[in-house]
């Protein structure tokens, strides 16, 4: 069966929101590009009216879009030809099951992303992986908000986390994360469908990781604080360096004190510490 390809050029702040919207109307494969992303849906499942509704809601954020029909092809083969392993500062490698790796690294993560966000290729995922390689997670409880492939949750577990709770709004990501947890033999790693506002947790967290986007991070900042233990760590990414002052300001309202940040191609990963005395 043929597929419909949708090519979107958009403001990168809104790419994840648009991906989520499109997944809700049947697009089940997403491929990020330098300008935005490409999304795919089976021709029989494509509803042009629903697509028009999404495009009209985000007309200011979408710079251009184009739909076309693609004849049936071997998607797994195409994906394998274009997906390369990622090495993070010679400390961690993220690879797929079909990669043959000879060199050894301190941390090795195997994932089959199936186009879910979180392969390590994006600057935000890369930076958080790098932060986690030196963050003490021993016997810590970790939350991964907006987990995508689950790669950050897996890294936290490799660093000694006792429990990891991941969640995402995309049911495809839930299945993919669970598969990747199994591939990496991650015990006490759990994944749920929903947002931080919708879900209930049995314990507070020592570390919360949220790699989403500026608007969602600002909206959920109070919830991150509420779910952190005193002196807990919050790692945020998914935004540009110019957005950092807004996030620092909002974080401070909730007892989350800025500590440091890294940048890569203008993308930021920022580190905060919970301290209730402001």
Whether residue 134 sits in one domain with residue 261: yes
Alpha carbons 171 and 3: distance in angstroms, whole number = 20
At which of 52, 73, 94 does a domain end? Answer: 73
Where is pLDDT greater, at 126 or 119?
126
For residue 136, what is the domain's CATH number? 3.40.50.150
- In this prediction, residues 227-254 reach a mean pLDDT of 95
Does residue 278 have a pLDDT over 50?
A: no
- Domain region containing 160: 117-274
Residue 29 has a pLDDT of 74
Whether residue 227 sits in one domain with residue 153: yes
Residue 258 has a pLDDT of 97
For residues 117 and 19, the answer to whether their CB atoms sit within 8 Å is: yes
- Residue 138 within a domain: yes
For residues 276 and 254, the answer to whether their CB atoms sit within 8 Å is: no
Does residue 242 have a pLDDT over 50?
A: yes
Whether residue 26 sits in one domain with residue 142: no
Residue 118 has a pLDDT of 58
Residue 82 has a pLDDT of 61
- Residue 23 within a domain: yes
Residue 1 has a pLDDT of 64
Q: Residue 220: what are its φ and ψ, rounded to 5°?
A: -100, 5
At which of 20, 52, 73 does a domain end? Answer: 73
Whether residue 18 sits in one domain with residue 141: no
Q: What is the pLDDT of residues 51-66, one digit of tens each?
A: 999 999 998 889 999 9
Whether residue 124 sits in one domain with residue 65: no
Whether residue 251 sits in one domain with residue 166: yes
- In this prediction, residues 241-267 reach a mean pLDDT of 95
Number of C-beta neighbours around residue 185 at 10 A = 10
Alpha carbons 240 and 233: distance in angstroms, whole number = 20
Q: What is the pLDDT of residues 65-99, one digit of tens each?
A: 999 998 765 544 555 556 788 899 999 999 988 88
What Rg value do the Cα atoms of the chain yield, rounded?
19
pTM of the model: 0.74
Whether residue 129 sits in one domain with residue 50: no
What percent of the chain is predicted at pLDDT more than 70?
A: 92
β-pair partners for 87: 93
Residue 78 has a pLDDT of 55
Please, which contacts does 45-50 make with residues 24 or more away whose CB atoms are closer than 8 Å? 46/4, 50/25, 50/26
Alpha carbons 114 and 80: distance in angstroms, whole number = 10
Does residue 126 have a pLDDT over 80?
A: yes
Residue 115 has a pLDDT of 52
For residue 8, what is the domain's CATH number? 3.30.70.980
Instruction: Tell me the C-alpha to C-alpha distance, in Å, between residue 244 and each of 126, 205, 207.
Output: 18, 23, 20
- Residue 84 within a domain: no
- In this prediction, residues 161-175 reach a mean pLDDT of 91
Residue 73 has a pLDDT of 55
- Residue 269 within a domain: yes
Q: How many domains does the chain have?
A: 2
Whether residue 258 sits in one domain with residue 137: yes
Does residue 116 have a pLDDT over 60?
A: no
Place of tokens 């993919």: 176
Residue 70 has a pLDDT of 80
- Residue 107 within a domain: no
Where is pLDDT greater, at 130 or 102?
130
Does residue 224 have a pLDDT over 90?
A: yes
How does residue 264 score in pLDDT terms, banded at 50, 70 and 90? very high
Alpha carbons 224 and 208: distance in angstroms, whole number = 7
Whether residue 248 sits in one domain with residue 145: yes
Q: What is the pLDDT of residues 188-214, one digit of tens each?
A: 999 999 999 999 999 999 999 999 888
Structure tokens at 227: 């779910």
Q: What is the 3-state secondary structure (H, E, C) of the chain?
A: CCEEEEEEEECHHHHHHHHHHHHCCCCCEEEECCCEEEEEEEHHHCCHHHHHHHHHHCCCCEEEEEEEEECCCCHHHHHHHHCCCEEECCCEEEECCCCCCCCCCCEEEECCCCCCCCCCCCHHHHHHHHHHCCCCCCCCEEEEECCCCCHHHHHHHHCCCCEEEEEECCHHHHHHHHHHHHHCCCCCEEEEECCCCCCCCCCCEEEEEEECCHHHHHHHHHHHHHCEEEEEEEEEEEEEHHHHHHHHHHHHHCCEEEEEEEEECCEEEEEEEECCCC
């Amino acid at each position: 069966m043929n597929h419909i390809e949708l090519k979107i050029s958009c403001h990168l702040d809104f790419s994840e929101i648009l991906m989520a919207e499109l997944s809700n109307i049947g697009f089940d494969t997403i491929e990020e590009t330098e300008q935005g992303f490409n999304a795919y849906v089976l021709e029989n499942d494509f509803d042009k009216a629903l697509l028009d509704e999404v495009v009209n809601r985000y007309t200011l954020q979408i710079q251009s879009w184009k739909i076309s029909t693609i004849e049936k092809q071997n998607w797994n083969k195409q994906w394998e030809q274009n997906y390369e392993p990622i090495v993070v500062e010679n400390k961690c490698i993220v690879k797929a099951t079909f990669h043959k790796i000879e060199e050894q690294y301190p941390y090795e993560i195997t994932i089959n992303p199936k186009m879910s966000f979180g392969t390590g290729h994006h600057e935000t995922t890369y930076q958080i992986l790098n932060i986690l390689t030196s963050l003490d997670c021993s016997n810590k409880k970790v939350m991964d908000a907006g987990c995508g492939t689950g790669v950050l949750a897996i890294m936290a577990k490799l660093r000694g986390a006792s429990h990891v709770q991941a969640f995402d709004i995309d049911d495809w990501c839930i299945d993919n994360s669970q598969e990747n947890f199994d591939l990496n033999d991650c015990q006490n790693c759990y994944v749920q469908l929903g947002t931080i506002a919708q879900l209930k947790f049995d314990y507070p967290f020592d570390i919360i990781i949220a790699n989403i986007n500026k608007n969602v991070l600002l909206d959920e900042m109070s919830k991150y604080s509420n779910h952190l233990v005193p002196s807990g760590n919050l790692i945020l990414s998914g935004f540009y360096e110019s957005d950092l002052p807004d996030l620092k300001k909002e974080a401070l309202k909730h007892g989350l004190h800025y500590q440091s940040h890294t940048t890569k191609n203008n993308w930021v990963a920022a580190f905060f510490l919970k301290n209730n005395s402001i």
